[in-house]
Amino acid sequence: MDKIIKALLSADIGQVMTNEPMKLHTTWKIGGPADLFILPKTKEDLQTTLRLLKDHHIPWMILGRGSNLLVRDGGIRGAVIQLGEAFGQLEISGEEVRVGAAYPMIRLVVQVGRMGLEGLEFAGGIPGSVGGAVYMNAGAHGSDISQVLKEATILWENGSIESVPNEKMRFRYRTSILQETRGIVLEATFRLRPGERAELAKRMAVFKDRRMKTQPLQEPCAGSVFRNPPGDHAARLIEACGLKGRQIGDAKISEKHANFIVNKGHATAKDVLELIQLAQKEVYDRFSISLETEVLVMGDE
């Protein structure tokens, strides 16, 4: 590990931290240490980082704003890369919006709404970054990223950069080509529609009010834990099994929304995983439905 640290520092690619607690970088506030935590300054520094990690045989993962992610208590062997301010630009030209991968989705929704652009209101409650939203084809309220994305600029693991149009992103429910081929979203271009600002603001307010009433957003959580099975909702199934409020350690199935697990203070990944397994078992035993996790689980036990 000393060799890769020396190489990264010599290349002056940005910040390089060691044994960085991942609980500081996830919305669940859970997670053991990452061997390396890297914040490249520029796109070129990011390319250099990937090349050096490859040369030194160091595995890596990309981190957005830490939502939709559970890092195990043993932490992450290898490197975690997070995109910083240089990847947070926003350009609006007519009905097209070009935005950096590090830009927060919630802020983007507010900004385009103020400009009278329609199409992203569904994402007003998605706590992640633009890059993370593209990666997992994030969605809500009957829409998702695939409905509005024109193209994404992706840095592939081999160092090449490509503008990938929507039709080649292989979007499906909560998935994209990035689950199949390793790469990092650098920016996204959305094609929106003209809308009435007052109506957009009203619609976003309704969505926000609904979220605040039905989701435990004031507590550390990671968003929906399970994918909705075809024709049903994971929350309904979990609640029907009487699991709302069930707690293991400091991890608890929310009493507001059964598809959320909240951290009541000092929850561990082990606590969360035991609750996930409990919900999967109870739902399968009662309904013969296998719940699949929507959150990504990373790291060592």
Domain 218-298 coded CATH 3.90.78.10: yes
> Which class does domain 2-82 fall in?
alpha beta
Q: Is 67 a catalytic residue?
A: no
Q: Please check the confidence at residue 142 and state whether its pLDDT lies above 90.
A: no
Q: What is the mean pLDDT of residues 94-112?
A: 96
For residues 54-62, average pLDDT: 97
Q: State the average pLDDT over residues 47-57.
A: 97
Give the Cα separation of 62 and 232 in Å (integer). Answer: 31
224 catalytic residue (yes or no): yes
Given the residues 174, 176, 187, 254, the one annotated as active site: 174
pLDDT (average), residues 15-25: 97
| Catalytic choice (67, 129, 224, 254) | 224
Q: Which residues contact 158 (CB under 8 A, 6 or more apart)?
A: none
- Choose, from 121, 151, 282, 294, the residue flagged as catalytic: 294
Active site residue 170: no
Domain with CATH 3.90.78.10 in the chain: 218-298
For residues 281 and 200, give the distance between their C-alpha atoms in angstroms, rounded to a whole number. 42
* Architecture in CATH of 89-200: 2-Layer Sandwich (3.30)
List beta partners, residue 129: 104
**Residue 78 pLDDT greater than 90, yes or no:** yes
Q: Where are the domain boundaries for CATH 3.30.43.10 in the chain? A: 2-82
Q: Where in the chain is the domain with CATH 3.30.465.10?
A: 89-200
Average of pLDDT values for 90-103?
97
What is the pLDDT confidence band of residue 166, given thresholds at 50, 70 and 90? very high
What is the model's pLDDT at position 211?
Answer: 85
Residue 212: pLDDT band (50, 70, 90) is confident
pLDDT of 125 higher than 90: no
User: Mean pLDDT, the chain, as a whole number?
Assistant: 95
Sequence-ordered strand ranges (E) for the chain: 14-21, 33-40, 60-63, 69-71, 76-82, 90-93, 96-100, 117-118, 139-140, 143-144, 149-156, 161-165, 183-191, 193-194, 247-248, 251-253, 261-263, 296-298
The answer to whether 118 touches 195, Cβ cutoff 8 Å, is yes
Is pLDDT at 54 greater than 90 in this prediction? Answer: yes
pTM of the full predicted structure? 0.92
